Amino acid sequence: DGGITQSPKYLFRKEGQNVTLSCEQNLNHDAMYWYRQDPGQGLRLIYYSQIVNDFQKGDIAEGYSVSREKKESFPLTVTSAQKNPTAFYLCASSAWTPSSGENEQFFGPGTRLTVL
């Protein structure tokens, strides 16, 4: 089955610790995205990557870092610099390229991060 997987589903972290959230896709998509969602709010873009070894900051990148060493993988690190990290984190991918223009994004099941 093609799809996007995220792990873990639930994550608890102590203040001051860095944590890395996993995102893997086997859809052969070039573009991948990380969002955070807070209760009653819309999705906000953290980072995105249109191609391997390249990524761009989204609207709320402060306190986060990413890497894109493989097409299938786009891990997100929540650093201790992120002041309010408790949220629902969603990874997505799309078949977008400058020529295809296909914008539809497909989401993984999400990771719910709680800072204790």
Partner 1 sequence: RKEVEQDPGPFNVPEGATVAFNCTYSNSASQSFFWYRQDCRKEPKLLMSVYSSGNEDGRFTAQLNRASQYISLLIRDSKLSDSATYLCVVNQVGTDKLIFGTGTRLQVFP
Contact set with partner 1 (CB under 8 A): 31, 33, 35, 40-43, 45, 48, 50, 58, 88, 90, 94, 96, 101, 103-110, 112
What is the closest distance, in whole angstroms, from the C-beta atom of residue 69 to partner 1 in the complex? 20
53 within 8 A of 69, measured Cβ to Cβ: yes
Residue 80 Cβ, how far from partner 1 at the closest point, in Å?
A: 26
Q: Is 56 helix (H, G, I), strand (E, B) or coil?
A: strand
The minimum distance between CB 96 and partner 1, in angstroms, equals 4
Give the nearer residue to partner 1 in terms of CB position, either 16 or 39: 39
Burial of 86 (0-12, 13-18, 19+ CB in 10 A): middle
Tokens of 6: 């995220």
Q: 59 or 69: whose CB is closer to partner 1?
A: 59
Hey, what are 10's tokens? 């639930």
* Min separation Cβ 6 and partner 1, Å: 9
Q: Would strands 111-115 and 54-57 be described as parallel, antiparallel, or unpaired?
A: unpaired
Strand-pair partners of 113 = 11, 87
Residue number with CB closer to partner 1 (69 or 102): 102
